[in-house]
Amino acid sequence: MIQHSKKMEIFSPAIFGDLKKAANEKAKTGVKIIDLSLGSPDLPPNEKIRKTLSDASLQENMYGYTLTGTKSFNEAVSDYYKRRVNVDIEAETEVLQTMGSQEGLVHLPIAFCDEGDIVLTTNPAYVAYDAGIKLAGAEPYYMPLKKENNYLPNLKDIPEEVLKKAKLLILNLPGNPVPAMPNELFFKEVIEICTTYNILVLHDAAYSEYYFEGDRPSSFLSVDGAKDVGIEINSLSKSFSLAGARIAYFVGNKNAIAVLKQLKSNLDYGIFAPIQKAAVTALENAEEITDQLRTVFKKRHQIMTKGLQEIGWEVAPSTGGMFVWAKYPYRMSSIDFTFKLIEQVGIVTVPGTSFGTEGEGYVRIALVQNAVTLQEAIERFATLTFD
Ligand SMILES: Cc1ncc(COP(=O)(O)O)c(C=O)c1O
């Protein structure tokens, strides 16, 4: 008899398997499924990136352990931060690569939290944060993301006794599932509170290249004092369509990076060298590559937002991100609604409650299909009927 550990009880099975099963059943009836569930980029990586990966993979000396980031990878990150957000990063001591940001996010709380420590996180939030908090035996304190506060957490609502016990604050802007955007004023408030209560800030910048209007949004690290209290985790999965070639990195506070380096040296032996080389090509060509991405996603975002509003849905306003956070105009739980969507019109989304209780009444729509398919999705949404 194989029995799972007690610890396994803290991990709930992901909903994606059940959604896929329902979608497969629907597909058997001849309906073409429109999958807007997973945030896996549908655009291919730029040809320069693929060429670097392919050339490097043919070299004989690319197959050893890399242990940690190569010098050229760390320098490319430092250069990218200087060019894109005008932040000085010391390549050797302020960068640490991870095997995708999920890996870094899930492991990070182990490095900074003891049993019973509090981690401030949002509701809704990307699910990996909760997994990491639980793995470390820490306690989440959920800051609700409300429409009336532009879907940013209201830090003034956090009780003092919670702040005193908190070791870590996790933020994600532009966010998943709610595409709220970062702003300097909010980050300043974060830095002030976290400096006062000695709380480490982890800003997840996975969607930092997804903005559709105006200048690039602030990096957390570009705000005065940020490096004293925090780090950012950034990924090449979304900005450079490298989700399957796993590579991401922590960047920021030197002392925090040193602690994470020690933890990581016990977990793995580094990332495949050709992937690191491909990442360097990506970062060096970031402006050209991400401009193309923004053009495509801006159009998709407009189609989905406008289309849903025209048929009576409410959409969280945003000028960036990869998702649309949509409130459907029917009285039904978000889980029931998601499965009805598959059953009635063959569209797969993710129920809002998969990301936290505040997600009730919402679905998350990933903009991972082309404009024509998204237009068709809108037409199908318009045909929904419920008693
Ligand atoms: C907010 C956020 N952070 C991190 C990740 C993980 O991405 P990866 O592990 O591919 O870097 C995702 C993936 O969907 C995400 O939405």
Q: How many residues does the chain have?
A: 387
pLDDT at 217 over 90: no
Q: Which atom of ligand 1 is nearest to the CA of 237?
A: 10
- For residues 223 and 187, the answer to whether their CB atoms sit within 8 Å is yes
| Cis amide prior to 13 (ω within 30 degrees) | no
SS3 track for 9-62: HHCCCCCHHHHHHHHHHHHCCCCCCEECCCCCCCCCCCHHHHHHHHHHHHCHHH
Rounded to the nearest whole angstrom, what is the distance from the C-alpha of residue 358 to the centroid of ligand 1?
20
pTM for the structure as a whole: 0.96
Res 228 pLDDT > 90:
yes
Q: State the pLDDT at residue 140.
A: 98
Mean pLDDT of the chain: 96
Q: What is the mean pLDDT of residues 141-153?
A: 95
Mutate to test the pocket of ligand 1, among 16, 181, 237 (most ligand atoms within 8 A of CB): 237
CA of 310 to the centre of ligand 1 (A): 31
Contact 185, 155 (CB under 8 A): no
Q: Which one of 172, 238, 247 would you pick to mutate in the ligand 1 pocket, going by the greatest count of ligand atoms within 8 A of its CB?
A: 238
Q: Is the pLDDT of residue 244 over 90?
A: yes
Q: Provide the percentage of residues in the chain whose pLDDT is more than 90.
A: 94
Mean pLDDT of 220-229: 97
Q: Is the pLDDT of residue 359 over 80?
A: yes
State what percent of residues in the chain have pLDDT above 70: 100
- Identify the pLDDT of residue 13: 78
Protein residue closest via CA to atom 1 of ligand 1: 176
The atom number, within ligand 1, closest to the CA of 247 reads 11
Region 252-261 average pLDDT? 98
In this prediction, residue 213 carries a pLDDT of 85
pLDDT at 68 over 80: yes
- Measuring from atom 14 of ligand 1, which residue has the nearest CA? 39
Q: Is residue 257 within 8 Å of residue 231, measured between CB atoms? A: yes
User: 107: CA distance to ligand 1 center in Å?
Assistant: 14
The minimum-distance atom of ligand 1 relative to the CA of 175 is 1
**To which H or E segment does residue 140 belong?**
strand 139-144
List all residues whose CB is within 6 A of at least one atom of ligand 1. 39, 100-102, 126, 172, 176, 204, 206, 235, 237, 243, 248
| d(CA 387, ligand 1 centre) in Å | 37
Return the minimum-mean-pLDDT range out of 156-170, 201-215, 225-239. Answer: 201-215
